[in-house]
Amino acid sequence: MMNKNDQETQQMINNVDLEKTFLGSVEAGQSLPTNTLPDDPMAPDVAAQLVEHYRLNEAKANQNLATFCTTQMEPQADELMKNALNTNAIDKSEYPKTAAMENYCVSMIAHLWGIPDNEKIYDDFIGTSTVGSSEGCMLGGLALLHSWKHRAKAAGFDIEDLHSHKPNLVIMSGYQVVWEKFCTYWNVEMRQVPINGDQVSLDMDHVMDYVDENTIGIIGIEGITYTGSVDDIQTLDNLVTEYNKTATMPVRIHVDAAFGGLFAPFVDGFNPWDFRLKNVVSINVSGHKYGMVYPGLGGIVW
């Protein structure tokens, strides 16, 4: 015979549908489905718990150094992001305010990089957010390539004749791998200016030896991932200005500022490296390299 307490306990147990609790569920004793859809449905709470448990040891934002830096953000950012989860931001005509906010961010970044204060997005410059600098570099390279093709045709080059007119890109050999992808995907010759123990950035004594009429652009790197140095883009700009005085095909500079684009503007001691320089036509940046940012986002400005 159960006493009153036992009866209450039994009643509580009966009231709990063990199948619907995570530890009482059949799924808790099985492996997470990874390959094919499971045959049977599972309760939403159990599915959510399974996913949470699976990612538990990589989900501590303040200890996550896998992306160079922590991904911890303010609770207010969490709240804003949660409220915006149901916005399909890619559909810009449906969500004009979200699109406008992207433009405000691009505009603020552009003005950090030497675009005069009175110049406006769409009138004087353009830009977009990207999936990290990887997409930013890809778009920057593509713009250089198309601009070169356009100008090469106008100059009378047969751009189908890859023997005489294969486009090339000039960059120091400590580049980030996205530039190799860009050259491979778009059939561009990558001309690497070598670095060594004494020369840890773009070699200004030799860089122009790599440039010819098929050069779509020179990449200056503001923050070199492997050496921790920066290319001397101001000197590069002077060399390019000199070269362009007599060139059939004037050459342009794209700055890969993945690393330095949101650092150099706030720190004294950097020579001009951005749109203050005459031949710099585009700059990309990563938004996530200094932490406190969840998504691997970036941007580019032309």
Binder of ligand PLP out of 137, 143, 253, 280 (CB under 6 A): 137
Binder of ligand PLP out of 25, 49, 107, 134 (CB under 6 A): 134
Tell me how far, at minimum, the Cβ of 239 lies from ligand PLP, in Å.
Answer: 21
The CA distance from 75 to 92, in Å, is 27
Query: For tokens 């699109």, what's the residue?
Result: 99
Using rule CB under 6 A, residue 129 touches ligand PLP: no
> Among residue numbers 253 through 282, which ones bind ligand PLP (CB under 6 A)?
256, 258-259
Cβ closer to ligand PLP: 112 or 293? 293
Q: Which helix (H) or strand (E) holds 89?
A: none
The CA distance from 279 to 207, in Å, is 15
- Helix pair 132-154, 178-185: axis angle to 10 deg: 40
Strand order through the sheet with 215-221: 127-130, 298-301, 280-286, 253-256, 215-221, 168-172, 189-193
Residue 131 DSSP label: S
Residue 128 CA: distances (Å) to CA of 35, 133, 136, 159: 36, 11, 9, 29
> Among residue numbers 278 through 297, which ones bind ligand PLP (CB under 6 A)?
286, 296
Tell me how far, at minimum, the Cβ of 69 lies from ligand PLP, in Å.
Answer: 11
The CA distance from 105 to 130, in Å, is 12
The CA distance from 86 to 283, in Å, is 31
Tell me how far, at minimum, the Cβ of 14 lies from ligand PLP, in Å.
Answer: 54
The 15-54 contact track toward ligand PLP, x by CB under 6 A, reads ----------------------------------------
Tell me how far, at minimum, the Cβ of 137 lies from ligand PLP, in Å.
Answer: 5
Using rule CB under 6 A, residue 178 touches ligand PLP: yes
Q: What is the CA radius of gyration of the chain?
A: 27
Closest residue by beta carbon to ligand PLP: 132
Tell me how far, at minimum, the Cβ of 264 lies from ligand PLP, in Å.
Answer: 13
Number of residues that bind ligand PLP (CB under 6 A): 15
The 194-233 contact track toward ligand PLP, x by CB under 6 A, reads ---------------------------x-x-x--------
Strands 168-172 and 127-130: unpaired
Binding site for ligand PLP (CB under 6 A): 132-134, 137, 176, 178, 221, 223, 225, 256, 258-259, 286, 296, 298
